Amino acid sequence: MEWGVMHLVNHGISDDLINRVKVAGETFFNLPIEEKEKYANDQASGKIAGYGSKLANNASGQLEWEDYFFHLIFPEDKRDMTIWPKTPSDYIPATCEYSVKLRSLATKILSVLSLGLGLEEGRLENEVGGMEELLLQKKINYYPKCPQPELALGVEAHTDVSALTFILHNMVPGLQLFYEGKWVTAKCVPNSIIMHIGDTIEILSNGKYKSILHRGLVNKEKVRISWAVFCEPPKEKIILKPLPETVSETEPPLFPPRTFAQHIQHKLFRKTQEALLSK
């Protein structure tokens, strides 16, 4: 409720599986560029899944500096296996196994968060689409060594639009959270999974759970890699708005009703407006 982000330990996902996921991701990014390009996405035509590279100035004039690989990993029937890397050979088995484990971890977290609001255990899970509709989107962020880290960011400051985000990393610090007016660097806790509350849960809880502003830094000496999985409600099927139980006369709804797609559009529009105003 205060930070909206935490280290999860004793999460029930084995160190061995987590290590396999990391090794597979790291091995992919170490492939020759022409191998990675076989999986290239095409942002212009709206195909965002696959391999991409980002080297662009953000609104504050800093350079965003990262390679990434983005694809849907759960539910199984919605996967597009044609864009999953064939090399290394363990990428597909490790990712499949991890997605199933992570999906059940998401259920546990949503249950705890429901109870924290005084709701029935399964309530938040149902509100974000349940087992059939909640999408798990995986994004591996690869931040090369950066000779002048003060001029670049891995990822600019943002809140996640998801319901929940789960993050693994290669123990190179770089995640920063904006808390009480200053940037705080998250500690690296071995074998933990970092979990963020996203906008979706902030909206449903009427602001009781926080979707905290955060950013990713680059490093001068070391490559930094993170494996983020965003748990997202379906784009059009659900109207996101504060649950009736979280609203009262003294606590009116803080968010207007929107679909997930409308929420994303609203954020993009606001970001564009802010960028134009700052010029």
Positions annotated as catalytic residues are 139, 158, 160, 214
Q: To which residue do tokens 């790291």 refer?
A: 26
d(CA 209, CA 1) in angstroms, rounded, equals: 4
Helix (H), strand (E), coil (C) string for the chain: CCCCEEEECCCCCCHHHHHHHHHHHHHHHCCCHHHHHCCECEHHHCECCEEEEEEEECCCCCEEEEEEEEEEEECHHHCCHHHCCCCCCCHHHHHHHHHHHHHHHHHHHHHHHHHHCCCCCCHHHHHCCHHHHCEEEEEEEEECCCCCHHHEECEEEECCCCCEEEEEECCCCCEEEEECCEEEECCCCCCCEEEEECHHHHHHCCCCCCCCCEEECCCCCCCEEEEEEEEECCCCCCEECCCHHHCCCCCCCCCCCEEHHHHHHHHHHHHHHHHHHCC
Contact between 245 and 119 (Cβ < 8 Å): yes
CA contacts within 13 A on the Cβ side of 149: 14
